Structure formats: structure tokens, C-alpha cells
Amino acid sequence: MPNLKVLNMAGAEVGSVELSDVVFGAEVNGAVLHSAVRAYLMNQRQGTQSTLTRTEVSGGGKKPWRQKGTGRARQGSTRAPQWTHGGVALGPKPRTYRIDLNKKTKKVAMRSALSSKVAAGEMIVLDAITANEFKTKTMVKMLEAVGAQGKTLVVLDGVDEKVIKSFANIEGNKTVQANTINVYDILNCKSLVVVKSAAEKIEEVYSK
């Protein structure tokens, strides 16, 4: 079982926590991680891009010149794709990019993502994160104290408006709750800072 130190906001060790091998010590499955990240990014696309075909562009009802005798190529409309201001041939139309993964694949991906962070020594467990006021400086000091570097994903066990807004102005930082964590955010961060109670919630959900 992975055994990690539990720190307080000042960076001092206040205990330790044994994490489940199933969730935090699993074999990393690169293929499943790739599928999960691809699905996440594709599902962020709105798919609202649209171009006008020659039938949708206004105008062009009149034949530009007679069929024969001009020496020029025959043309039926000034809204054909080869004309300026004409329609677009084979252009994009609204569509869905959604990719669905089954529950088993999602669990394997999450376990692989979390286990990769533990194996790389990039997961930091805190006993709690609290804020008495909206203060970004407090959270910056806390991240420095616990050794979080680069892009940081902070996982809370619930919604704390003061904590979330205090983190909001820190560049490269993202704050999520244990029930909204996703594989892409985990892999996209350099440091994963997790509140102990949030780690227990994650363990409870993904160990089954």
C-alpha cells in the first residue's frame, strides 16, 4: 500500500495515510489513459462550426453568361464553390464529437492516472485546507510550503467558496471537488494536492 505523509498548510508533517493499492498503486494502463484523455477533449468541442453550401448562399440565381459562344467556361451560377462569394464545397457542418466510455474503462483510467502521480512522487496529501478570508497570498504561501510546483490541481472534499476563490487568481492552478475530478486534469498538472478526506472519498468510489 502506498504510504504518504500528511502535511498541514505550513508544510509540517502531521501524520501519514495508507492509500489503497487498487486506486493509488495500480498498474498504469497507457492505452486506457489515451482513450480517456481523447474522449475528454473531444467532449469539450461544441461542434457548432458551419459553412454555407452553394444552395445556402444568397444570390446566384441568374446564369452569368450564355452557355456557348463566349469563349469562356460554361457557368450556371456565381455562387458555385469556384467563385468569389460562392458556397463552400464539403465544408464543416454542425455535428457532435462526443465519445462515450464505459464505466469499467473510466475506473481503470482514473486508477491509472492517480497511481502515476503517486509513483512519480507528485501527489501531496494535506490534513485540511481552510481560509478565513478571500486571500490569494495565503494559498500561494501554502503551495510553496508543501512543495507544490508548476501547474497544480487542488482536490477538496466539498465546496468552500473562500478557498476556491483564494486559489482562483493563481496562474496554472485549478480547484476541483472529489466528485468532479477527471483524468485529464490529473495528467495535465505537475502537482496533485489532495485533502485527506477527499482522498478517502476518491478511494471509496474507485476501489469497488
pTM of the model: 0.85
> Within a 10 A sphere around the Cβ of 15, how many other Cβ atoms?
11
Q: Residue 202: pLDDT band by 50, 70, 90 thresholds?
A: very high
CB 115 within 8 A of CB 28: yes
Q: Residue 2: pLDDT band by 50, 70, 90 thresholds?
A: confident
- Cα angle 144, 145, 149 (rounded to 5 degrees) comes to 35
pLDDT value for 208 = 81
List the 3-7 sheet strands across, edge first.
13-18, 3-7, 123-126, 191-195, 152-156, 173-177
Mean pLDDT of 91-96: 96
Q: What share of the chain is helix, strand, coil (3-state, %, to 5)?
A: 35, 15, 50
Computed over its alpha carbons, how large is the radius of gyration of the chain? 27
What is the average pLDDT across 65-79? 96
- Could you tell me what percent of the chain has a pLDDT over 90? 96
Mean pLDDT in residue range 74-92: 96
pLDDT tens sequence across 129-138: 999 999 999 9
Q: Which three cell numbers stand for residue 18?
A: 495508507
Render pLDDT for 99-128 as a digit per residue (tens, 0 to 9): 999 999 999 999 999 999 999 999 999 999
pLDDT of residue 15: 93
| CA–CA separation, 30 and 48 (whole Å) | 31
Contact 87, 55 (CB under 8 A): yes
> Using one digit for the tens of pLDDT, what is the confidence trace for 157-196?
989 999 999 999 999 999 999 999 999 999 999 999 999 9
| CATH numbers and ranges of domains, the chain | 3-44+99-206 (3.40.1370.10), 51-91 (no CATH)
